[in-house]
Amino acid sequence: MPELPEVETVRRGLAPAMEGQKIVRAQVNRPDLRWPFPDQMADRLEGARVLGLRRRSKYILADMDRGETLLIHLGMSGRMLVSGDPLGQFVHDHPAPEKHDHVVLDMENGARVTFNDPRRFGAMDLLPTQTQDSHPLLASIGPEPLGNAFSESYLDQALKGRSMPIKTALLDQKIVAGLGNIYVCETLYRGGIHPGRRVNRIAERRIAALVPIIREVLDEAIDAGGSSLKDFRQADGELGYFQHRFDVYGREGEPCRTEGCGGQIARIVQSGRSSFYCPLCQR
């Protein structure tokens, strides 16, 4: 599933084609994805002007001039693809329709935005902009890791007294928004912390040190266009490249990249997810 860097990459790719533009035609080709689409979704989108695009955790939010916000979740295989952009940001003409093109938005500038999702685990919803923070999908999400509310003192207090593994804690969206398996593995490697170590067994200074590391990992991944493992594509259809810089994720049995370490990357399973780490560097 796309994590924060992939979703932010898609948001940035959509912005030149959608922000400030009116949706002149909305085509909804099925009644649902992971959940049913909202009532009269196409009619509510057509004629609306997109005021701006934001990201909250792993959701893209498109605020519109009618007082509604379009919420987009990519799910496991969802792609938001742009074609025909007159600003020259994208190189593709409008492609022929594909089987899994579930929502198609034609913008007044000639751009077309297509939500393609073969597995249909993605989602779209329309919600009142003024009360969006109370939406069930957004209400309990923690602070953004790249925002000011996510600080050393916040993380220390949020984790204080918890006995869960540190990796489990960082994956909890109520504690911090948008982190997923890939970037937590990479963060813990850089922080020298074993993914299975209990939070209450980690010194406060080591927990505090994770905050700048998390930001560093996310910034690097966003700059690289995210990580493309299976289905992820940027809005122009290109792959992300951060997967070529993984230190531990997916590298089981390969040598640790820490100079002088000599260890090999190992894998354990935590709550059904693979955790990759160096047994010598991470304690």
Whether 3 sits among the annotated catalytic residues: the reply is yes
Whether 2 sits among the annotated catalytic residues: the reply is yes
Whether 174 sits among the annotated catalytic residues: the reply is no
Whether 273 sits among the annotated catalytic residues: the reply is yes
Q: Which of 58, 79, 112, 233 is catalytic?
A: 58
CB count within 10 Å of CB 130 equals 10
- DSSP letter string over the chain? ---HHHHHHHHHHHHHHHTT-BEEEEEE-SSBSSSBPPTTHHHHHTT-BEEEEEEETTEEEEEETTSEEEEEE-TTT-EEEEE--TTSS--PPPPPP-TTEEEEEEETTS-EEEEE-SS---EEEEEEGGGGGGSTTTTT----TTSTT--HHHHHHHHTT--SBHHHHHH-TTTSSS--HHHHHHHHHHHT--TTSBGGGS-HHHHHHHHHHHHHHHHHHHHTT---SSS---TTSPPP-GGGG-SSTT-TTSBP-STT---B-EEEEETTEEEEE-TTT--
Amino acid at 208: A
Q: Which of 25, 245, 257, 273 is catalytic?
A: 273
Residues with a catalytic annotation lie at: 2-3, 58, 273
